[in-house]
Amino acid sequence: METNLALLLLLAPLAGFLINIFAGKKLSGNLSGTLGSLAVAVSFAVTLFFFLQVNNTGEPVMVNLYTWMKMVNFDINFGFQLDQLSLLWLMFVTGIGTLIHIYSISYMHDDENIHKFFAYLNLFVLFMMILVMGSNLLIMFIGWEGVGLCSYLLIGFWYKKQEYNDAAKKAFIMNRIGDLGFLIGIFIIGYLFHSVEYNDIRNIIASGEADIDMAWLGIAALCLFIGACGKSAQIPLYTWLPDAMAGPTPVSALIHAATMVTAGIFMITRLNFVFDLTPDIQHIIAIVGAITSLMAATIGLAQNDIKKVLAYSTVSQLGLMFMALGFGAYEVAVFHVITHAFFKACLFLGSGSVIHAMHGEQDMRNMGGLKKVMGITFATFMISTLAISGLPPFSGFFSKDEILMTAFHHDKVLWIIGSLASIMTAFYMFRLVFLTFYKDFRGTEEQKHHLHESPGLITFPLIVLAILALVGGAISLPGSSWLNHYLAPVIANPAQHHALGTTEYMLMGIAVVGALIGIGLAYTKYISKAQVPPQDSEITGFTKVVYNKFYVDEIYMAVIVKPIYAIGSFFKNVTEAAISGFVFGLGRAATLIGAQGRYIQNGSVGFYLLIFVLGMCSVIAYIFLK
C-alpha cells in the first residue's frame, strides 16, 4: 500500500510528463496545462496523506524497490525514504508546484510549445521529488542531475534565442561543476561508510564504533558542499542563477526560487550528522553563505531588470540559509527555506504578472504606477516584499531573525554581514516596489494602453502564496517551534535554542530597525526624490561595477573559459599536428629511404656485380678472418 502510494507520488508527474510529451501536440494548451497541474495536485494529495501519517506516527515510510547498482564496498538500492524532512520538502514542492502549474496555464497559454512546457515542469517535479525522497545519496543524485536537466530545458525553453540557450547551457555546466563535487563526496562517503544510505551512515556515526578517517570525511563534506554551492548558487558558482532568468517566469518561481535552488540546503540538512562531525567545513559554509548573501545583495542594489533583482535576492537569501547551516542550525535554515519559498514564489509570480501585463517588458525603468491597474498583484507583491524585508509579523521576519540570532551567538562578524545584507534587501526590494508600482507609468503609450490586471488563474496562486507569506511564520514561532519539534527525528544534534531574553529582543529590534532604514532610504530616493535609475550608458563609478555584477562573469570568462579554449586551440593546432606529423613522418621517412634507394639500383650490371663481390668479400672476411 505504502509502496504503491509512494510510487503513485512519482508516477503522477511522470504520467503527466509522458502524456504531454507524446500526445501534447494534439491536446489544447489548456488541457495539457490542466493535466500537468492535476498530476502535481495528485502528488500533493498523496504527500499530504503521508505527511499526516508521518506526523502522527513519527515513523518514516521506507520504500525499497530493488538493488540498483552494486559496488564492491556497497550496494545501492533504488529506494525511497519518506521521513519528516523529505515530506516537508515534498509538501512545498508539490504545493507550490501545483500553484505554479495553475499559474502557468494562463501565463503560457499563447505559447505554441505549451505542452512541452508542462511536460518539462512535470518532469522537474518528478526529479525534485526523487531528489528529496531518495533513501540514499545516489537516488538524490538522480534527482539532483534530473532537476539540472529540467532547469536546462526550461531556461532554454525559448530556444530560438541563442542568448537564452547560452544561459541554459551555463546553468547546466555550472551545476555540473558542483555535481562533480557531489559525486566525489559520494565516493568518499561510500568508501568510508561502505554505504550511501542515509540511515546506515547515521547509524554508523551514532554508534561511534566505526573508525572513520576524519580528514577524509572533511574532504567529503567539502565536496558535498561544493555540490550544494552549484545547485544553490553560492559563491563561486552562483553566476548561473541570474542568467537563468531567461526562462519563463513560472520557471524562475518554481525552480530558481522555491524548490531546486534549495536542494543544496536539503542535502546538507539531510547529511547533518556528517556535517556535524566536520566543524571546519561548517565554518567555511557559514562564511561562504554570509559573503554570498552580502555580495548578491550588493549587486541587487543596482539591477534594473525586475527578475534580476529577484534573482540576486534569491542568491542573497540562499546565502543566509547557508550561513544558518554553517552554524549547525539546520531547522532555522529549513524554516527560512519554507518562508522563502512562499514569498519568493509569490514575488516571482507577481513579477510575472507584471511582465505579462507589460508584454514582456522587464526593465523597471520603463514601469511605474502599476498599483492603480493591478491591485491584486500589487497587494500580494507588497505582502511578500514586507515578508522578505523581515518586518513583523510577516513570515520572513521570524525566519530571518532566527538566522541572525543564531549568527549573533556564533560569530559577530557574520552577524554584521548578515544584517547588512538584510538592510540592503529591504532597500532594493522596496526600490523594486516603488519603481514598479508607484509614481507614473514610464513605458510607451502602446504598453500603457494594454495594461491590465492578470486573469484569475494568475492571481489565485498569488493570493494563496501571499497568505502563506503572511502567516507562514507560524510554523516556527520563537519559543514554541512546531518545526523544530517536527524535525527533531531527522536532525542528529538540534541547534541550541536560546531562550527569549533581552539580547534576543534587542536583536529583533535591531533587525526591524535595519529593515525600516532600508525602506526609508528607498522611499526617500524613489518616492520623495522620484529618482529613476539612469540609462546603462550613464552609469559610472562604483555603481557601474555593481551594476555589472562585479564583472564576475567576465573574470570567469577570462580566467577559466578562455584558457580552456586556448588550450583546445593549442591541442588542435600544435599537439595534434605534431603527433600526427610524427606518425605520418615515419611513413614518409620510410618512403624517402625507398626513394633514395632507387638511385642505388642504377641499372648497371658492373655496379651490381661490384656490390655482389664486396658482399661476398665481407661475408668471407667476417667468417674466416675475424
Q: Which span (174-182, 206-214, 305-313, 535-543) binds other proteins, by CB under 8 A?
A: 174-182
Q: CB-wise, 53 or 165, nearer to other proteins?
A: 165
Q: State in angstroms the smallest separation of the CB of 145 from other proteins.
A: 5
DSSP class of residue 276? T
Residues in 470-509 at the binding interface with other proteins, rule: CB under 8 A: none
Determine contact, residues 253/100, Cβ cutoff 8 Å: yes
Q: State in angstroms the smallest separation of the CB of 444 from other proteins.
A: 26
Interface residue with other proteins, options 7, 11, 49, 176 (CB under 8 A)? 176
Interface residue with other proteins, options 35, 108, 188, 508 (CB under 8 A)? 188
- Measured from the Cβ of residue 151, the count of other Cβ atoms closer than 10 Å reads 28
Residues in 289-318 at the binding interface with other proteins, rule: CB under 8 A: none
**In what helix (H) or strand (E) does residue 69 lie, and over which residues does it extend?**
strand 61-70
Q: CB-wise, 230 or 328, nearer to other proteins?
A: 230
**Cα within 13 Å of Cα(543), Cβ side:** 12
CA-to-CA distance for 356 and 343, rounded, in angstroms?
19
Residues in 337-366 at the binding interface with other proteins, rule: CB under 8 A: none
569 phi-psi bin (left φ>0, alpha ψ -120 to 50, beta other): alpha
Q: CB-wise, 73 or 444, nearer to other proteins?
A: 73
CA-to-CA distance for 38 and 253, rounded, in angstroms?
19
Q: State in angstroms the smallest separation of the CB of 167 from other proteins.
A: 11
Q: Which three cell numbers stand for residue 556?
A: 570567469
Determine contact, residues 473/397, Cβ cutoff 8 Å: yes
Q: CB-wise, 551 or 607, nearer to other proteins?
A: 607
**Omega cis (within 30) before 250:** no
Q: Kindly tell me the sign of the dihedral angle through the C-alpha atoms of 192, 193, 197, 203.
A: negative
Q: What is the DSSP string of 505-528?
A: HHHHHHHHHHHHHHHHHHIIIIII
Residues in 15-74 at the binding interface with other proteins, rule: CB under 8 A: 21, 66-72
Q: What angle do CA 536, 542, 548 make, to 5 degrees?
A: 50
Q: Which three cell numbers stand for residue 232?
A: 544553490
Q: State in angstroms the smallest separation of the CB of 585 from other proteins.
A: 11
Q: State in angstroms the smallest separation of the CB of 86 from other proteins.
A: 18
Q: State in angstroms the smallest separation of the CB of 185 from other proteins.
A: 10
Determine contact, residues 146/126, Cβ cutoff 8 Å: yes
Residues in 215-234 at the binding interface with other proteins, rule: CB under 8 A: 219
Residue with cell 542531475: 145
Q: CB-wise, 206 or 613, nearer to other proteins?
A: 613
- Measured from the Cβ of residue 328, the count of other Cβ atoms closer than 10 Å reads 24
Q: State in angstroms the smallest separation of the CB of 243 from other proteins.
A: 14
Determine contact, residues 306/354, Cβ cutoff 8 Å: yes
Q: CB-wise, 122 or 422, nearer to other proteins?
A: 122
Angle between helices 395-410 and 375-389 (to 10 degrees): 20
Q: CB-wise, 93 or 138, nearer to other proteins?
A: 138
Q: State in angstroms the smallest separation of the CB of 194 from other proteins.
A: 12
CA-to-CA distance for 121 and 100, rounded, in angstroms?
10
Q: Does position 617 bind other proteins by CB under 8 A?
A: yes
Q: CB-wise, 13 or 146, nearer to other proteins?
A: 146
Q: CB-wise, 184 or 545, nearer to other proteins?
A: 184
Q: CB-wise, 4 or 580, nearer to other proteins?
A: 580
Residues in 533-572 at the binding interface with other proteins, rule: CB under 8 A: 564-565, 567-569, 571-572
Residues in 570-609 at the binding interface with other proteins, rule: CB under 8 A: 571-572, 575-576, 579-580, 583-584, 587, 590-591, 593-595, 597-598, 601-609
Q: State in angstroms the smallest separation of the CB of 44 from other proteins.
A: 24
Binding mask 99-138 for other proteins (x = CB under 8 A): ---------------------------------------x
Q: Which three cell numbers stand for residue 52?
A: 499526516
Q: Does position 184 bind other proteins by CB under 8 A?
A: yes
Q: Does position 456 bind other proteins by CB under 8 A?
A: no
CA-to-CA distance for 351 and 347, rounded, in angstroms?
6
Q: By rule CB under 8 A, what count of residues binds other proteins?
A: 83
Q: Which three cell numbers stand for residue 371?
A: 498599483
* Spatial CA neighbour of 306 closest among 370, 261, 258, 390: 370
CA-to-CA distance for 197 and 205, rounded, in angstroms?
12
**Cα within 13 Å of Cα(194), Cβ side:** 7
Residues in 515-534 at the binding interface with other proteins, rule: CB under 8 A: none
Q: State in angstroms the smallest separation of the CB of 588 from other proteins.
A: 10
Cα-based torsion angle of the residue sequence 308, 314, 316, 319 in order, rounded to the nearest 10 degrees: -150
Interface residue with other proteins, options 78, 441, 460, 523 (CB under 8 A)? 78
Interface residue with other proteins, options 64, 162, 503, 535 (CB under 8 A)? 162
Residues 6+ apart with CB under 8 A from 416: none
Q: State in angstroms the smallest separation of the CB of 104 from other proteins.
A: 20
* Spatial CA neighbour of 75 closest among 136, 140, 143: 136
- Measured from the Cβ of residue 409, the count of other Cβ atoms closer than 10 Å reads 17
Interface residue with other proteins, options 145, 197, 243, 331 (CB under 8 A)? 145
Residues in 263-292 at the binding interface with other proteins, rule: CB under 8 A: none
Q: CB-wise, 180 or 539, nearer to other proteins?
A: 180
Report the SS3 class of residue 66: strand
Q: State in angstroms the smallest separation of the CB of 114 from other proteins.
A: 13
Q: State in angstroms the smallest separation of the CB of 236 from other proteins.
A: 14
Q: State in angstroms the smallest separation of the CB of 582 from other proteins.
A: 9
Q: Which three cell numbers stand for residue 77?
A: 538500492
